[in-house]
Amino acid sequence: MNKIYLESVSLSFGHRELFKNLTLEFPAGKTFGVVGANGSGKSTLLKLAAKILKPDAGEVKFHGAKTVAAVTPELKIYDTLTAAENLNFFAQLRGKAVDVSEIGRRVGLDFETELRAGDFSTGMRQRLKFAILLGVDADIWILDEPTSNLDGTGREIFLREIRGGARGGKIILLATNDAADLEVCDEVIELPAGGGDF
Protein backbone atom coordinates (compact mmCIF):
# COMPACT_ATOMS: atom_id res chain seq x y z
CA MET A 1 0.00 0.00 0.00
CA ASN A 2 1.23 3.48 -0.86
CA LYS A 3 2.16 5.57 2.15
CA ILE A 4 4.33 8.38 3.46
CA TYR A 5 6.42 7.54 6.51
CA LEU A 6 8.05 10.17 8.69
CA GLU A 7 10.64 8.52 10.91
CA SER A 8 12.03 10.40 13.95
CA VAL A 9 11.88 13.70 12.12
CA SER A 10 13.25 16.82 13.82
CA LEU A 11 13.28 20.36 12.49
CA SER A 12 14.31 23.66 14.03
CA PHE A 13 14.27 27.23 12.83
CA GLY A 14 17.12 28.98 14.62
CA HIS A 15 16.66 28.25 18.32
CA ARG A 16 13.02 27.30 17.84
CA GLU A 17 12.47 23.57 17.78
CA LEU A 18 9.35 22.96 15.70
CA PHE A 19 9.39 19.15 15.54
CA LYS A 20 11.35 16.71 17.69
CA ASN A 21 11.53 12.98 16.94
CA LEU A 22 8.26 13.08 15.05
CA THR A 23 7.10 9.72 13.68
CA LEU A 24 3.98 9.60 11.55
CA GLU A 25 2.48 7.42 8.85
CA PHE A 26 0.11 8.58 6.13
CA PRO A 27 -1.40 5.64 4.22
CA ALA A 28 -3.14 5.96 0.86
CA GLY A 29 -6.90 6.27 0.61
CA LYS A 30 -7.20 8.58 3.59
CA THR A 31 -7.38 12.32 4.12
CA PHE A 32 -5.39 13.69 7.04
CA GLY A 33 -6.33 17.06 8.47
CA VAL A 34 -3.59 19.11 10.11
CA VAL A 35 -4.77 21.81 12.50
CA GLY A 36 -3.13 24.11 15.01
CA ALA A 37 -2.54 27.72 15.89
CA ASN A 38 -0.67 30.07 13.56
CA GLY A 39 3.03 29.23 13.67
CA SER A 40 2.45 25.70 15.00
CA GLY A 41 4.00 24.23 11.87
CA LYS A 42 1.03 23.04 9.78
CA SER A 43 2.48 24.16 6.45
CA THR A 44 5.97 23.01 7.48
CA LEU A 45 4.68 19.51 8.31
CA LEU A 46 3.09 19.32 4.86
CA LYS A 47 6.33 20.44 3.19
CA LEU A 48 8.30 17.85 5.15
CA ALA A 49 5.86 15.10 4.21
CA ALA A 50 6.05 16.12 0.55
CA LYS A 51 9.89 16.26 0.68
CA ILE A 52 9.74 19.93 -0.33
CA LEU A 53 11.64 20.64 2.90
CA LYS A 54 14.42 18.49 4.35
CA PRO A 55 14.40 17.66 8.07
CA ASP A 56 17.42 18.41 10.28
CA ALA A 57 17.28 14.80 11.48
CA GLY A 58 15.25 11.71 10.70
CA GLU A 59 13.88 10.64 7.36
CA VAL A 60 10.82 10.97 5.16
CA LYS A 61 10.11 7.91 3.01
CA PHE A 62 7.61 7.36 0.23
CA HIS A 63 6.47 3.75 -0.02
CA GLY A 64 4.95 3.15 -3.45
CA ALA A 65 3.87 6.74 -3.92
CA LYS A 66 6.09 8.65 -6.33
CA THR A 67 4.54 11.94 -7.38
CA VAL A 68 3.42 15.00 -5.43
CA ALA A 69 1.03 17.79 -6.38
CA ALA A 70 0.11 20.72 -4.20
CA VAL A 71 -2.25 23.61 -3.71
CA THR A 72 -0.53 26.04 -1.35
CA PRO A 73 -0.39 29.84 -1.10
CA GLU A 74 3.35 29.84 -1.99
CA LEU A 75 3.03 27.84 -5.20
CA LYS A 76 2.00 30.25 -7.95
CA ILE A 77 0.78 29.75 -11.49
CA TYR A 78 1.92 31.60 -14.63
CA ASP A 79 0.11 34.93 -14.89
CA THR A 80 1.02 35.39 -18.56
CA LEU A 81 -0.51 32.05 -19.59
CA THR A 82 -4.20 31.24 -19.95
CA ALA A 83 -5.88 28.65 -17.72
CA ALA A 84 -5.67 25.98 -20.43
CA GLU A 85 -1.99 26.78 -21.12
CA ASN A 86 -1.16 26.54 -17.40
CA LEU A 87 -3.00 23.23 -17.06
CA ASN A 88 -1.46 21.73 -20.20
CA PHE A 89 2.04 22.87 -19.22
CA PHE A 90 2.00 21.24 -15.79
CA ALA A 91 0.34 18.10 -17.17
CA GLN A 92 3.06 17.86 -19.84
CA LEU A 93 5.71 18.08 -17.12
CA ARG A 94 4.22 14.91 -15.63
CA GLY A 95 3.70 13.28 -19.03
CA LYS A 96 -0.11 13.40 -18.75
CA ALA A 97 -2.59 14.18 -21.51
CA VAL A 98 -5.51 16.07 -20.00
CA ASP A 99 -9.08 16.58 -21.11
CA VAL A 100 -9.15 20.30 -20.41
CA SER A 101 -12.91 20.73 -20.74
CA GLU A 102 -13.62 17.74 -18.47
CA ILE A 103 -11.37 19.12 -15.71
CA GLY A 104 -12.87 22.56 -16.28
CA ARG A 105 -16.33 21.11 -15.69
CA ARG A 106 -15.17 19.38 -12.51
CA VAL A 107 -13.68 22.52 -10.92
CA GLY A 108 -16.22 24.93 -12.41
CA LEU A 109 -13.75 26.95 -14.48
CA ASP A 110 -14.07 28.04 -18.11
CA PHE A 111 -10.95 26.81 -19.90
CA GLU A 112 -12.12 28.24 -23.22
CA THR A 113 -11.41 31.75 -21.99
CA GLU A 114 -8.61 33.77 -23.57
CA LEU A 115 -8.15 35.56 -20.25
CA ARG A 116 -4.70 35.10 -18.78
CA ALA A 117 -4.36 33.77 -15.23
CA GLY A 118 -3.07 37.19 -14.14
CA ASP A 119 -6.53 38.60 -14.87
CA PHE A 120 -8.30 35.94 -12.77
CA SER A 121 -9.88 36.61 -9.39
CA THR A 122 -8.22 34.99 -6.35
CA GLY A 123 -10.96 32.35 -6.23
CA MET A 124 -10.54 31.51 -9.92
CA ARG A 125 -6.78 31.15 -9.43
CA GLN A 126 -7.44 28.77 -6.56
CA ARG A 127 -9.72 26.70 -8.79
CA LEU A 128 -7.03 26.68 -11.50
CA LYS A 129 -4.43 25.46 -8.99
CA PHE A 130 -6.81 22.66 -8.05
CA ALA A 131 -7.43 21.87 -11.73
CA ILE A 132 -3.66 21.49 -12.16
CA LEU A 133 -3.55 19.16 -9.15
CA LEU A 134 -6.27 17.02 -10.74
CA GLY A 135 -4.61 17.21 -14.17
CA VAL A 136 -1.20 15.93 -13.07
CA ASP A 137 -2.85 12.98 -11.27
CA ALA A 138 -0.22 12.71 -8.53
CA ASP A 139 -0.13 10.04 -5.80
CA ILE A 140 0.19 12.59 -2.99
CA TRP A 141 -1.95 15.71 -2.60
CA ILE A 142 -0.63 18.52 -0.40
CA LEU A 143 -3.40 21.00 0.36
CA ASP A 144 -2.60 24.08 2.43
CA GLU A 145 -5.66 26.21 3.13
CA PRO A 146 -7.21 25.03 -0.15
CA THR A 147 -10.66 26.48 0.45
CA SER A 148 -9.51 29.98 1.39
CA ASN A 149 -10.83 32.63 -1.04
CA LEU A 150 -13.45 30.22 -2.39
CA ASP A 151 -17.18 30.85 -2.53
CA GLY A 152 -19.69 28.25 -1.33
CA THR A 153 -19.82 26.42 -4.66
CA GLY A 154 -16.05 26.38 -4.95
CA ARG A 155 -15.73 24.95 -1.46
CA GLU A 156 -18.25 22.19 -2.24
CA ILE A 157 -16.32 21.30 -5.41
CA PHE A 158 -13.04 21.10 -3.49
CA LEU A 159 -14.45 18.93 -0.74
CA ARG A 160 -16.17 16.63 -3.27
CA GLU A 161 -12.93 16.17 -5.22
CA ILE A 162 -10.96 15.54 -2.03
CA ARG A 163 -13.40 12.75 -1.11
CA GLY A 164 -13.05 11.40 -4.65
CA GLY A 165 -9.25 11.57 -4.41
CA ALA A 166 -9.20 9.57 -1.18
CA ARG A 167 -11.51 6.97 -2.72
CA GLY A 168 -9.13 6.83 -5.69
CA GLY A 169 -6.22 5.89 -3.42
CA LYS A 170 -4.49 9.25 -3.05
CA ILE A 171 -2.57 10.24 0.07
CA ILE A 172 -4.12 13.57 1.07
CA LEU A 173 -2.74 15.99 3.63
CA LEU A 174 -4.90 19.01 4.34
CA ALA A 175 -3.77 21.90 6.56
CA THR A 176 -6.57 24.22 7.50
CA ASN A 177 -7.78 26.83 9.96
CA ASP A 178 -11.36 26.22 8.91
CA ALA A 179 -13.13 23.56 10.99
CA ALA A 180 -15.66 23.04 8.17
CA ASP A 181 -12.89 21.56 5.96
CA LEU A 182 -12.33 18.78 8.47
CA GLU A 183 -15.56 17.03 7.48
CA VAL A 184 -13.66 15.32 4.63
CA CYS A 185 -10.82 14.18 6.89
CA ASP A 186 -10.49 10.62 8.15
CA GLU A 187 -7.97 11.60 10.82
CA VAL A 188 -7.00 14.93 12.32
CA ILE A 189 -3.55 15.81 13.65
CA GLU A 190 -3.52 18.73 16.06
CA LEU A 191 -0.19 20.49 16.41
CA PRO A 192 0.62 22.17 19.72
CA ALA A 193 1.11 25.93 19.67
CA GLY A 194 4.82 26.78 19.46
CA GLY A 195 5.89 23.35 18.20
CA GLY A 196 8.05 20.82 20.12
CA ASP A 197 6.92 17.35 21.24
CA PHE A 198 3.49 16.03 20.39
Partner 1 sequence: MKLSSFLQAAAIFRKDFLVGLRRRAAFAAMAMFALTTIASLSLALGGAFVEPKLLAALLWVVIFFAASAGISGTFEDEAAAGTLSTLKLYAARQAILFGKMFFTLASLGALTIFLLPVFLILFDAEIARLGIFSATVLLGLVGISAAGTLTAALTVSASAKGGLFPILLFPVTLPIFLPAISLTEAAFTGAEFSAEFLAAMIFYDAILVTAASILFDFLD
Q: Could you tell me if 11 and 53 are in contact, meaning their C-beta atoms sit under 8 angstroms apart? A: yes
Question: Of the two residues 78 and 198, which places its CB atom closer to partner 1 in the complex?
Answer: 78
Question: Of the two residues 24 and 81, which places its CB atom closer to partner 1 in the complex?
Answer: 81
* Separation CA 25–CA 167 (nearest Å): 18
* Separation CA 195–CA 90 (nearest Å): 34
Question: Of the two residues 18 and 70, which places its CB atom closer to partner 1 in the complex?
Answer: 70
Per DSSP, 111 falls in state T
Residues at the interface with partner 1 (CB under 8 A): 50, 52, 68-70, 74-81, 85, 89-90, 92-95, 136
In the complex, what is the shortest distance from the CB of residue 52 to partner 1, in angstroms, rounded to a whole number?
7
In the complex, what is the shortest distance from the CB of residue 34 to partner 1, in angstroms, rounded to a whole number?
19
Question: Of the two residues 92 and 101, which places its CB atom closer to partner 1 in the complex?
Answer: 92
In the complex, what is the shortest distance from the CB of residue 118 to partner 1, in angstroms, rounded to a whole number?
9
Find the radius of gyration of the CA atoms of the chain: 17
In the complex, what is the shortest distance from the CB of residue 69 to partner 1, in angstroms, rounded to a whole number?
8
| H helical segments located in 17-151 | 42-49, 83-93, 100-107, 122-136
